[in-house]
A and B are shown apart, each in its own frame.
Chain A
Amino acid sequence: MRAGNKLALILLLTPLLLWIGLLIIIPHIDMFLVSIRERVGVGKYQISLANYWTFLGEPLYLVTFARTAIMSVLATVLTLIIGFPVAFFIAKIAKGRLQSSLFLLCLVPFWVSELVRTFGWMILLRETGLISNLLQWLGLVDGPVELLYNDVAMIVGLVYTSMLFMVVPLVTTLESLDDSIIEAGYDLGGSTVSITREIIIPHAMPGIVSGSIVVFMLSLGNYLTPTMLGGKDSLWFTELIYSQFIVRFNWELGAAFGFMLLILSSAIIWLLLKLTGQTLEKTMT
C-alpha cells in the first residue's frame, strides 16, 4: 500500500516536475549562461558581464526599461480602479442570472485571440475608424483624427487585455465577504467611504494583490498590444528583446535583457507584497 502510494505520488508529480524543469528551469539556466558570454571571435566566447554593461551604458535601453515598468504599473493601477467597482457589483449587488451573465461578459473577449481583440481597438481608434468618423459626423473635428499609435491607446489596450485577470480574483475575495459585516459597518455608523476603506478593501486585499501581480506581469511581458497600438515612440522593452533575438541575431544581449526584465518584475512584485503586508502564499490561495 505504501509503495503504491509512493508510485501514485511520483506519477502525479512527474508532469509538474517535467513542466517546471523543461520549460522553466533549464531554459532559464541556459539563457543565463548565454547572457554572460561575450563573443570574442568566430565561434569563440568568454564569460563576461559585457552584455549587462551594454544595457547599462545605453540610454535608450534604460529609458525603455524604466518606461515599460512605469507604464505597466500605471496600467495595473488603472485596471484595479476600473475593475474594483465592476467586481464589487458582480459579487455583491448583482444577483442570480444578472450575476452570471455579467461574469460571462468579462470572459467573452477572451474567446477570440489577443490579436483579434487588438485589431478591434484599431478599427475603433484609427484615422478612418469609428470614433474618428463619429467625431467628424458630430462636427466636433474638422478632419480625420488619428487616435492610434500613442501611449494612451497602448494603455487602453493593456487595461482591456488584463481586465479579466483583475476581476476574477476580486470577485472571489469579495464574494467571501459576509454581507452582514458590511451591514454591521453601516449599523455602527460607518459611511460608505469608511466602510470601503476600513472593511471592504482590507478584506479584498489578497485579491487586489494577486490580481495586480498577474496584471502587472501580463503588461510587462506583453508584446502584441504595445507593438500594434503604441506608436514609434511607444517603445516597449519586449520589443527590444525581440529585435535583439530576431532582427539583430544578438542572442547574448537579448538574453541579458530577458534577465533584466525578470529581475524587474520580481523586484516590483516583492515591493508590492511588502507595501501591502501580504505574502505570496496568502494571495495565491
Chain B
Amino acid sequence: MTRDTPGSADLECLALCKQFDAFTAVDHVSFAVPSGSFFSILGPSGCGKTTIMRMIAGFLEPSSGDIRIKSKSVLDVPPNKRPVNMVFQHLALFPMMNIADNIGYGLRRQGMAKPEIGRKVDEALERIGLPGIGKRKVDELSGGQKQRVAIARCLVLEPDVLLLDEPLGALDLKLREHMKVELKALQAAFGTTFVYITHDQSEALVMSDQIAVMNHGRFEQVGSGRELYYRPETAFVAGFVGDSNRWKGRVTRAESGLLQITTQAGLQVTGADHGRGLATGDQAELFVRPEAIRISRQAEDLSHLENRMSGQVTTLLFNGADSRAILEPQTGGDPIEVALPQSGEYADLKRGDVLHFAWAGDQANAFAVNDQAAPSLEAQ
C-alpha cells in the first residue's frame, strides 16, 4: 500500500467503519488519496464501496473513524458544505432545468454573480466539448453527453475531491469504452482528485492511478493496476482482477519461494508464493492467468519455461482479441484455459489438435487456502 505523507493527500479515511444494525458494511478501512490522482475502489456488489462513498459525500455518518479532506476532518460538515462533489450512478441531472442551469446550480448556491456564472458555465461546456448546448433540456442529450454534463456540473465548483459512483454503468458497451478514455482525459485536464467506484475491473484498470480492491467491507489490496494484476496479495484479488485458471492442491516441495504443488486432480505444477511463506504440506490455491501461458506447436520452443505440458484442444472460445482455448492435459488432470494470440498462427486451430504449453513458475500465484473466502463467479 503506497501512502503519501498526510499533507499531500486530498482525501484520507482513517479506520472508517459503518455498521447497519448487526451488519458491518465497512470495516476499518484506511486509505489516502494523493492530490490530483485517480483512485478507484473496485469490488463486487454489496462489498461496501457505495457506503464508503456516501460517507465521504456526507449522506451517511460513519460509525467510527475519521474522514479528512485536505487534512481537515469533515465529519461535522453537512453534505452541502463539504468540498466534495458526487457524480451519481444515474447522474441525477435536474430535469426541470436546462443544461446551463444544471451546471450553474452550485455556483448560484454559492451566491456568485449572474454574469460570472454564465461565463463559468460556458467555459465548462467548452471544456467538456459541448459548447452552445446550455439552452437545451436534459432529455435532449445522449447518454454520453449527459455524463459529461454531470461531471461538468461538479467540476465548475472546483471540489477538492470528485466522487463517481459507477457512472458508466448505464451506458452501452461501445460508449462505455469511449467514456473510459474521456474520463481519464477530463481528470487530467481539470487536475481534480477523482475517487471512482466500480464493480467493473476494466474501468478501474484503465483509468486509475491507484485501485483498492474491496471485499466484505475491507480493502484486500491497494495498488496500481499492474500490481493488482501481476502481484495479487490475496486469493480474492487474484480471482477478482482478471481471469485465472485456479487449482487447489498440496505443497509437495517449497524452495526459496518456488513451490511444487500437486493439484487435487493430480497435476504437477510449480508456482510462487511471493513471500507468503507456504511450506511443504500446506493446502494451497494456485492461480495462473490464461494469458500467462505460452503455447506452441513445437515442444522445444518452450524449453526455457517450467510447467511444460501438452494437451488436446477440447473447446475453442473465439472472442476476437480475447479468444481462448480449453486444453485437456495429456498427463490427466484439470482442463486448462489458455489465451490464443491473434497474430495468425493459431487461426486454423481445431478441436482435437495437440498443443504444447508452459508457464514460468513465478507467473503462478500460490496462496494458502482458507486465508480468504474466494470470490464466486460474479467476478468478471
Contacts and interface: CB of A to CB of B under 8 A. Distances in A.
Interface of A: 178, 180-181, 183-191, 194, 198-199, 202-203
Nearest to A188: B106
Contacts of A184: 86, 88, 92-94
Contact of B105 (A178, A183, A188): A188
B89 A180 contact: yes
Nearest to A204: B96
Interface string B58-100: 1100000000000000000011110011101110111111000
A194 B94 CA distance: 13
Contacts of A186: 59, 78-80
Interface string B303-338: 000000000000000000000000000000000000
B5 interface: no
B278 interface: no
A185 B153 CA distance: 11
Contacts of B85: 187-188
Contact of B80 (A178, A187, A198, A203): A187
Given A202-B96, A203-B96, A188 B109 contact: yes
B96 A191 contact: no
Given A178-B92, A181-B92, A203-B96, A189 B59 contact: no
A7 B167 CA distance: 51
B80 A190 contact: yes
- Looking at B80, B88, B106, B157, which has the most chain A CB atoms within 10 Å of its CB? B80
A178 B57 contact: no
B343 interface: no
A242 to B, nearest CB: 44
Contacts of A181: 92, 94-95
A194 B80 CA distance: 12
Contacts of A194: 109
Nearest to B111: A189
A181 B154 CA distance: 14
B27 to A, nearest CB: 25
Contacts of B154: 188
A185 B105 contact: yes
B256 interface: no
B370 interface: no
Name which of A183, A189, A194, A198 has the most chain B CB atoms within 10 A of its CB: A189
A263 B105 CA distance: 42
Nearest to B103: A188
A258 B47 CA distance: 66
9 contacts: A183-B59, A187-B58, A188-B105, A188-B154, A190-B105, A191-B80, A198-B94, A199-B96, A202-B97
Interface string B104-116: 0110011000000
Contact of A180 (B84, B90, B105, B106): B90
Contacts of B110: 189
B157 A188 contact: yes
B241 to A, nearest CB: 29
A187 B81 CA distance: 8
Contacts of B92: 178, 180-181, 183-184
B94 A187 contact: no
